[in-house]
Amino acid sequence: MEEKLFAEFAPIASETWIQTITKDLKGLDYSKVRWQTEDGFIVEPFYSEAPVSLPDIRRAEKSWKITEFIPLSKESTQANLEAKQAIQTGAEAIVFSLGSEIKKLEDLIRETTLGIDTKLTPLLFTNLSPYLKSVTEWKSFGSDYTNIHFDIDPFVNILSSGDLGLPKSDLSKHLYSISLSLPKKSICVHSHYLRDAGASISQELSFALAWGHEYLQMLVSEGQKPKLAAESIWFWMGIGSDYFSEIAKIRAFRILWAQILEQYETGLGESTLPTVLSQTSTWNYTAYDPYVNMLRGTTEAMSAVLGGSDFVAVLPFDTVEGATEFGKRIARNSQLLLRHESHLDKVHDPSSGSYYIENLTHQLAETAWKSFQTWEAKGGFFIGIQTGEVQKEVLTSASQKRDAVATKKQTLLGSNQYPLASERHPKLPSILANGKEGKGEGGQYPALPIKRLSFDLDRLRSLTDARIAQGKSVPKVFLLSIGDLTMRKARAGFSANFIGCLGYEILEQSGFSDLKDGVKAAKDAKADLVVLCSSDEEYATLIPEFGKLLKEQIPSAWPLVAGYPKDLIEVAAQNGISEFIHLKRNLIEFMEKAQARL
């Protein structure tokens, strides 16, 4: 007879836990330990039971495929060589990324796959938009290869370029032809595009369902059997930094997609498991302090694996500036560590039984399902991207996140918090200026521009690197600390962290007893910015003198005050001081102002 673990311990009621927590909070409200997700639902500090009994959540195989991207240029033999090298060093699936129509697709694939056993190593061909209209040339192609997938997705063409890529009236027949001509898994839902553009977790989840359902409906309406239609569709999702919620997202997706399939054929949801490729999102990858991206990529890969992804691709940590061989190797090795040292491939659904994740899964599923039904009532995903409503909703989410970063409510390590001011990237200014990031293309429909969360921080800081590349000096910031020891140290530290985001040289001092000595030292250091760091009480006498001395001795320097003594704002303005740096100061706005001034 099976014996339950810990049966000798009596269960503890939730009310008892709450009372204990409230006592430990020592007068603080219990709401302080609850938090609200970006999607609006409340996460409790503890869970003592699962919300409902969730269905079995699993991928088709116990383990996942370590996936690597390889650009496919005109020289297909070079891509073939790179793929073989990647496979030898740990990659288990390859995504070949096309950029333009090179040659007949069948010839291209034959050359690229030479010497690769596709039964063991699945190959995915992406960016196939140039081939979209030539699908009729691919008849009987699927019988020649095993485990080769394509990512035909007209809807993502609208999001990326504003154009569908073919006449709207031909879309359903076109997709039906693809499902007959190409191998299984040839129609893709690129919901990672939404995540890269700033969509919330529940937005990506609900839109992925609506997106996939639209394709499913089109195939079935043309006469395709529901099972074959479902087998033609696969999902390419994005993974962000919200560790537990991303685990729950993939689990919720599998539950809800099965629920949709059940409406077409009883048992279809259980027999036809969706194929999910999860890619670490470019959304929270930063250009500066790029080594932090290693940590981001690894934890995001863990979310993807524990959530139940079939394929997982980790972007190299140096993706923004241009992935190097070292960056690719680290990305690959991070997954090898998760498998061979953390043994995350030993069970199908390791997060099952965690009350916390089960609750997150349930809440996300409920939220996304409501949103999915709302979009279905509006006419579906296709209507939504034609009118721009989907794009608008994603951009609203992205804007809220950017505001959180600009006001430091959300931390981007190395970018808006704890920057390494001396770090230089001389190639970055031209990369950011000449790239497509943040630039939406025009077309028949509204496009959705991709713009990383740190883009504005990177762009503004890169102006300092551009200045240095032109042979100019690094702007110097002199922290003039005076008065109350505790306050001056705290405000000097805050100022160094805040202004350091610009990559300026920070000149920190132990402190001055006389303001004249401090201003003289700033003059001797040839400071471009001088920050007065003291207490609000002392600012009443310090600010007028500080403004006067700077105007007399360093008229070219920009005077700033650390803190926001609201009763002295007018006094400061009368003495030539209009800039205050403090917790509520918008960092992006300050950086714009500083770079424009200098």
**pTM for the predicted model, two decimal places:** 0.93
CA-to-CA distance for 332 and 70, rounded, in angstroms? 13
Q: Please count the other Cβ atoms lying within 10 Å of the Cβ belonging to residue 180.
A: 17
Instruction: Write out pLDDT tens, residues 322-340.
Output: 999 999 999 999 999 999 9
For the chain, the distance separating the N- and C-terminal CA atoms, rounded to the nearest angstrom, is: 77
Instruction: State whether residue 380 is helix, strand or coil.
Output: coil
CA-to-CA distance for 581 and 586, rounded, in angstroms? 9
Equal fold, 65-385 vs 473-597: no
Provide the pLDDT for residue 289. Answer: 96
Beta-bridge mates of residue 67: 93, 313
- For residues 215 and 327, the answer to whether their CB atoms sit within 8 Å is no
The CATH code of domain 65-385 reads 3.20.20.240
Instruction: Write out pLDDT tens, residues 79-90.
Output: 899 999 999 999
Tokens 């003198």, residue located: 545
Architecture of 473-597 per CATH? 3-Layer(aba) Sandwich (3.40)
CA-to-CA distance for 350 and 214, rounded, in angstroms? 32
Provide the pLDDT for residue 10. Answer: 82
Provide the pLDDT for residue 569. Answer: 96
Full DSSP string of 270-289: HHSPPPEEEEE-STT--SSS
* Nearest of 109, 64, 106 to residue 83 by alpha carbon: 109
Provide the pLDDT for residue 53. Answer: 79
Provide the pLDDT for residue 144. Answer: 55
Ranges of residues in the chain with a pLDDT under 50 are 1, 136, 142-143
The dihedral formed by the CA atoms of 88, 93, 99 and 100, expressed in degrees to the nearest 10: 100
| Residues in CB range of 369: below 8 A, 6 or more apart | 206, 209, 256, 259
Provide the pLDDT for residue 1. Answer: 47
Domain boundaries, the chain: 65-385, 473-597
CA distances, 552 to each of 516, 527, 543, 557, 576 (Å): 11, 14, 14, 11, 11
- For residues 483 and 563, the answer to whether their CB atoms sit within 8 Å is no
